[in-house]
Amino acid sequence: MPKQPVIGVMGGAAVTETVFDQACELGQRIAGQGWILLNGGRNAGVMLASAKGAKEKKGVTIGILPGADKTKANPYIDIAIATNMADARNLINVLSSDVIIACPGSAGTLSEIALALKNNRRVIALNFPLSPPLSGFAEKNLLYHATTPKQCIDLCKKILKTKF
Protein backbone atom coordinates (compact mmCIF):
# COMPACT_ATOMS: atom_id res chain seq x y z
CA MET A 1 0.00 0.00 0.00
CA PRO A 2 1.48 3.36 -0.97
CA LYS A 3 2.01 5.87 1.78
CA GLN A 4 -0.34 8.85 1.95
CA PRO A 5 1.42 12.12 1.22
CA VAL A 6 1.63 14.64 4.05
CA ILE A 7 1.08 18.22 2.92
CA GLY A 8 2.33 20.86 5.34
CA VAL A 9 0.32 24.07 5.37
CA MET A 10 2.19 26.91 7.01
CA GLY A 11 1.10 30.49 7.52
CA GLY A 12 0.30 33.26 9.92
CA ALA A 13 -1.74 33.13 13.10
CA ALA A 14 -3.16 36.61 12.40
CA VAL A 15 -4.53 36.67 8.85
CA THR A 16 -7.03 38.51 6.70
CA GLU A 17 -10.41 37.03 5.89
CA THR A 18 -9.18 36.34 2.35
CA VAL A 19 -6.16 34.37 3.57
CA PHE A 20 -8.37 32.48 6.07
CA ASP A 21 -10.81 31.54 3.30
CA GLN A 22 -8.03 30.41 0.96
CA ALA A 23 -6.45 28.30 3.72
CA CYS A 24 -9.84 26.70 4.40
CA GLU A 25 -10.28 25.89 0.70
CA LEU A 26 -6.73 24.55 0.59
CA GLY A 27 -7.52 22.18 3.47
CA GLN A 28 -10.65 21.00 1.66
CA ARG A 29 -8.69 20.33 -1.52
CA ILE A 30 -5.90 18.49 0.31
CA ALA A 31 -8.43 16.23 2.02
CA GLY A 32 -10.24 15.78 -1.29
CA GLN A 33 -7.07 14.19 -2.67
CA GLY A 34 -6.87 11.78 0.26
CA TRP A 35 -3.71 13.47 1.51
CA ILE A 36 -2.89 14.17 5.16
CA LEU A 37 -2.74 17.81 6.27
CA LEU A 38 -0.05 18.87 8.75
CA ASN A 39 0.20 22.29 10.34
CA GLY A 40 1.20 24.07 13.54
CA GLY A 41 -2.01 22.94 15.25
CA ARG A 42 -2.88 26.17 17.04
CA ASN A 43 -6.38 27.65 17.23
CA ALA A 44 -5.58 30.63 15.00
CA GLY A 45 -5.19 31.81 11.43
CA VAL A 46 -3.97 29.49 8.71
CA MET A 47 -3.62 26.59 11.19
CA LEU A 48 -7.27 26.79 12.21
CA ALA A 49 -8.58 27.47 8.70
CA SER A 50 -6.67 24.72 6.88
CA ALA A 51 -7.56 22.09 9.49
CA LYS A 52 -11.21 23.20 9.46
CA GLY A 53 -11.33 22.85 5.68
CA ALA A 54 -9.74 19.40 5.77
CA LYS A 55 -12.20 18.17 8.39
CA GLU A 56 -15.14 19.49 6.34
CA LYS A 57 -14.05 16.94 3.70
CA LYS A 58 -13.37 14.21 6.30
CA GLY A 59 -9.59 14.54 5.95
CA VAL A 60 -6.90 13.59 8.45
CA THR A 61 -5.09 16.41 10.25
CA ILE A 62 -1.90 16.55 12.30
CA GLY A 63 -0.94 19.52 14.49
CA ILE A 64 2.65 20.03 15.67
CA LEU A 65 2.15 22.19 18.74
CA PRO A 66 4.68 24.61 20.21
CA GLY A 67 3.86 23.75 23.83
CA ALA A 68 3.53 20.72 26.06
CA ASP A 69 -0.28 20.67 26.27
CA LYS A 70 -2.05 18.67 23.53
CA THR A 71 -5.39 20.16 24.59
CA LYS A 72 -4.26 23.50 23.11
CA ALA A 73 -4.75 22.10 19.59
CA ASN A 74 -7.56 23.55 17.53
CA PRO A 75 -10.75 21.46 17.44
CA TYR A 76 -10.08 20.23 13.88
CA ILE A 77 -6.79 18.48 14.68
CA ASP A 78 -6.97 14.67 14.77
CA ILE A 79 -3.42 13.98 15.91
CA ALA A 80 -1.92 16.58 18.23
CA ILE A 81 1.81 16.32 18.82
CA ALA A 82 3.01 18.34 21.80
CA THR A 83 6.66 19.32 21.41
CA ASN A 84 7.35 21.91 24.12
CA MET A 85 9.84 23.27 21.56
CA ALA A 86 8.24 26.66 20.72
CA ASP A 87 9.51 27.83 17.33
CA ALA A 88 12.00 24.97 17.09
CA ARG A 89 9.02 22.81 16.13
CA ASN A 90 9.17 24.46 12.71
CA LEU A 91 11.86 21.97 11.70
CA ILE A 92 9.53 19.10 12.64
CA ASN A 93 6.78 20.72 10.55
CA VAL A 94 8.88 20.82 7.40
CA LEU A 95 10.74 17.53 7.76
CA SER A 96 7.45 15.69 8.36
CA SER A 97 5.89 17.13 5.19
CA ASP A 98 6.31 15.86 1.65
CA VAL A 99 5.38 19.27 0.23
CA ILE A 100 5.02 22.57 2.08
CA ILE A 101 2.44 25.18 1.10
CA ALA A 102 3.25 28.57 2.58
CA CYS A 103 0.34 30.95 3.02
CA PRO A 104 0.98 34.57 4.00
CA GLY A 105 2.52 34.90 7.43
CA SER A 106 5.41 36.56 9.17
CA ALA A 107 8.72 35.50 10.72
CA GLY A 108 7.54 32.03 11.79
CA THR A 109 6.34 31.21 8.30
CA LEU A 110 9.54 32.60 6.80
CA SER A 111 11.58 30.38 9.11
CA GLU A 112 9.58 27.35 7.92
CA ILE A 113 10.22 28.29 4.30
CA ALA A 114 13.94 28.71 4.95
CA LEU A 115 14.18 25.41 6.84
CA ALA A 116 12.28 23.63 4.10
CA LEU A 117 14.50 24.98 1.34
CA LYS A 118 17.64 24.25 3.35
CA ASN A 119 16.46 20.64 3.64
CA ASN A 120 15.54 20.31 -0.06
CA ARG A 121 11.81 20.26 0.62
CA ARG A 122 9.62 21.72 -2.08
CA VAL A 123 7.68 24.83 -1.14
CA ILE A 124 4.65 26.34 -2.85
CA ALA A 125 4.06 29.97 -1.92
CA LEU A 126 0.33 30.74 -2.09
CA ASN A 127 -0.10 34.48 -2.65
CA PHE A 128 3.00 34.97 -0.52
CA PRO A 129 5.51 37.02 -2.49
CA LEU A 130 9.06 36.02 -1.70
CA SER A 131 11.89 38.39 -2.51
CA PRO A 132 14.70 37.86 -5.03
CA PRO A 133 17.15 36.26 -2.55
CA LEU A 134 15.03 33.10 -2.85
CA SER A 135 14.74 33.13 -6.64
CA GLY A 136 17.61 30.65 -6.99
CA PHE A 137 15.45 28.03 -5.29
CA ALA A 138 12.83 28.38 -8.03
CA GLU A 139 15.53 27.59 -10.57
CA LYS A 140 16.34 24.41 -8.58
CA ASN A 141 12.65 23.36 -8.65
CA LEU A 142 12.34 23.79 -4.89
CA LEU A 143 10.21 26.95 -4.80
CA TYR A 144 6.97 27.43 -6.71
CA HIS A 145 4.37 30.21 -6.73
CA ALA A 146 0.59 29.87 -6.90
CA THR A 147 -2.32 32.28 -6.72
CA THR A 148 -5.14 29.83 -5.95
CA PRO A 149 -5.60 26.71 -3.82
CA LYS A 150 -6.37 24.75 -7.00
CA GLN A 151 -3.00 25.73 -8.45
CA CYS A 152 -1.37 24.52 -5.22
CA ILE A 153 -3.01 21.11 -5.59
CA ASP A 154 -1.98 20.87 -9.25
CA LEU A 155 1.61 21.68 -8.27
CA CYS A 156 1.49 19.15 -5.42
CA LYS A 157 0.38 16.46 -7.85
CA LYS A 158 3.28 17.29 -10.16
CA ILE A 159 5.77 17.31 -7.28
CA LEU A 160 4.45 14.10 -5.71
CA LYS A 161 4.78 12.21 -8.99
CA THR A 162 8.53 12.52 -8.57
CA LYS A 163 8.44 11.37 -4.93
CA PHE A 164 6.05 8.41 -4.92
Residue 22 reports pLDDT greater than 50? yes
% of the chain with per-residue pLDDT over 70: 98
pLDDT in tens, 97-106: 999 999 999 9
Dist. CA 60–CA 34, nearest whole Å: 8
| Torsion angle defined by CA atoms of residues 156, 161, 163 and 164, in that order, rounded to the nearest 10 degrees | 120
Evaluate whether 54 touches 28 at the Cβ level (below 8 Å): yes
pLDDT in tens, 75-119: 999 999 999 999 999 999 999 999 999 999 999 999 999 999 999
Q: Which CATH code fits 6-161? A: 3.40.50.450
Reported pTM: 0.95
pLDDT in tens, 125-135: 999 988 777 87
3-state secondary structure of 91: helix
At residue 50, φ and ψ (nearest 5 deg) are -65, -40
**Domain parsing of the chain, residue ranges:** 6-161
At residue 75, φ and ψ (nearest 5 deg) are -65, -5
